[in-house]
Amino acid sequence: MRICKPTLLSFVATVVVLHISTVVAAAPGGSRRLLYARDDPITIPPYLVFENVRLERAYVALQAWKRTMVSDPWNLTLNWFGSRVCDYNGVVCSSSLDDPTIKTVSGIDLNHGDIAGHLPEELGLLTDIALIHVNSNRFCGTLPLGFSQLSLLFELDLSNNRFAGKFPELVIGLPKLKYLDLRYNEFEGALPESLFEKDLDALFLNSNRFVSKIPVNMGNSPVSVLVLASNKFEGCVPTSFGKMGQTLNEIILMDNGLQSCFPSDLGLLKNVTVLDVSYNWLVGELPESIGQMENLEVLNVERNQLSGVIPEELCSLKNLKEFRYGSNYFTGEPATCRNLEYYNSTMNCLKEEKEQRSTMECKAFLSRPVDCDSFKCSPVSPCLSPPPPPPQISPSAPAPSPSEPSLLPPAPSRSSPPPARPCPPLYSPPPTPPQSSTPAEQPVGQIPEDSSSPSPMN
């Protein structure tokens, strides 16, 4: 009688190796047993017949995962039994890449299930899987080391869960990964520089607990969409920013602790349509090169300490529709800004405009010149205006009015990080029942509200 014997925790240095071998063994009752380094291994009943060994391994992985689920309020995994794993809810099967005659599990979509539990090591048995979508659940813990075996994984969406710990660096070693969404979790610490050397297309890390400077090699990343909002990143806007001009379409750095001048070569980002650096402590002037961002549609620099005169070329950009620059210290604006579909210039130092700062407040701030060299952002971007005093408008100030358009999906308000949460309770009020439909295709340039990202297999 044939069984697979995976040894999930064999290490060479820090690399996990998953060994699969064929042995003959008998378990009580004549059943086949997959032997793990665990007290309660998964047993395959003797009456189950699988189309191939890959589907048999998928059965083990999915049964191990179901065993970790402590709450499934919508019974999404109710039919996760038997050998027909391709009929399980949320499981996608297709022909394997190396042999089209072999059917295998190529994707899992459990979005919006409100399922509580964690991800087991056995998921490393799904070596043909290309996408894993589990956003809007209550999974906790960290990524299992078995994930390092998922060499074909293309999309990983873990957003809106309760994952915690340091940035899961094992994802950097996944050779095919292009889409990574970790937003709305509790990851913490610093980002590794190697993340921005990886060939990703979309990277969403907003609304976690990352605390560090943004790695200086950020500009090496080939991503088209980069969202680092609502963390505690500090220090400089990386001066390697401009190197992303060929690939970058959207970048959102809002609601952090960034404190520097703008890089002078901002105009190199000619393909960027959305740039949001609001709710930071940026100082100095907007560089004149910003007028060269010919595809720019939305620019948000609100709630900083920027000053000087807004470049004439900026509001003349043919694609610009929205420009938010309220709650800064700008002293001049071109009249063309008022012709935009939406602009906000309140709480600046603009003469003869309504709802501006007081003359005394403007004079006190503008009397202190800015020395961009003092931020030690290398290479230094020249600009003209002051190391900020204690911020009068902090990055954690209230968000814009709900009536105004938002670039990010709504999130709980956090004036300071809440305490770390343990694994979720057994029960919680269920959300609205999920729709039984294939995730809608999401344009790469748009930030998905619930991370139902496009799939290469749809």
Instruction: Report the C-alpha gap between 167 and 440 in whole angstroms.
Output: 28
Instruction: Report the C-alpha gap between 452 and 456 in whole angstroms.
Output: 13
Buried b (16+ CB within 10 A) or exposed e, 8-35: beeeeeeebebeeeeeeeebeeeebbbe
- DSSP one-letter string for 264-292: TTGGG-TT--EEE--SS--EEPPPGGGGG
Phi-psi region of 225 (alpha: psi -120 to 50; beta: other; left: phi over 0): beta
Instruction: Report the C-alpha gap between 221 and 200 in whole angstroms.
Output: 7
Ordered per-residue pLDDT tens for the chain, 458 residues = 344 444 443 333 333 333 333 333 344 444 444 434 455 788 999 999 999 999 999 999 999 999 999 999 999 999 999 999 999 999 999 999 999 999 999 999 999 999 999 999 999 999 999 999 999 999 999 999 999 999 999 999 999 999 999 999 999 999 999 999 999 999 999 999 999 999 999 999 999 999 999 999 999 999 999 999 999 999 999 999 889 999 999 999 999 999 999 999 999 999 999 999 999 999 999 999 999 999 999 999 999 999 999 999 999 999 999 999 999 999 999 999 999 999 999 999 999 899 999 999 999 999 999 999 999 886 533 343 344 444 443 333 333 333 344 444 444 333 343 443 444 443 334 444 444 444 333 333 333 444 444 444 33
Identify the helix (H) or strand (E) that includes residue 204: strand 202-204
The separation between CA 164 and the C-alpha centre of its own chain, rounded to angstroms, equals: 14
Instruction: Report the C-alpha gap between 83 and 90 in whole angstroms.
Output: 15
Identify the helix (H) or strand (E) that includes residue 93: strand 91-95
- Give the list of residues 6+ apart from residue 195 with CB closer than 8 angstroms, or none: 167, 172, 203, 215, 221
294 and 317 Cβ atoms separated by less than 8 Å: yes
CA distances from 223 to 57, 174, 177, 273, 339 (A): 34, 16, 12, 14, 32
Phi, psi of 364 (to 5 degrees): -65, -40
Burial of 429 from C-beta contacts in 10 A (0-12 / 13-18 / 19+) = exposed
Burial of 339 from C-beta contacts in 10 A (0-12 / 13-18 / 19+) = exposed
Instruction: Report the C-alpha gap between 430 and 179 in whole angstroms.
Output: 28
85 and 103 Cβ atoms separated by less than 8 Å: no
Domains in the chain and their CATH numbers? 2-53 (no CATH), 204-398 (3.80.10.10)
Instruction: Name the pTM for this structure.
Output: 0.78
Work out the end-to-end distance of the chain between its first and last CA atoms, rounded to an integer number of angstroms: 38
Structure tokens at 150: 């998922």
Four-residue CA torsion sign, 454, 195, 11, 161 = negative
Instruction: Report the C-alpha gap between 389 and 44 in whole angstroms.
Output: 66
122 and 128 Cβ atoms separated by less than 8 Å: no
152 and 107 Cβ atoms separated by less than 8 Å: no
Burial of 100 from C-beta contacts in 10 A (0-12 / 13-18 / 19+) = exposed
Q: What is the pLDDT of residues 24-81, one digit of tens each?
A: 334 444 444 443 445 578 899 999 999 999 999 999 999 999 999 999 999 999 999 9
Nearest Cα residue to 284 out of 259, 314, 312: 259
115 and 71 Cβ atoms separated by less than 8 Å: yes
Phi, psi of 220 (to 5 degrees): -80, -10
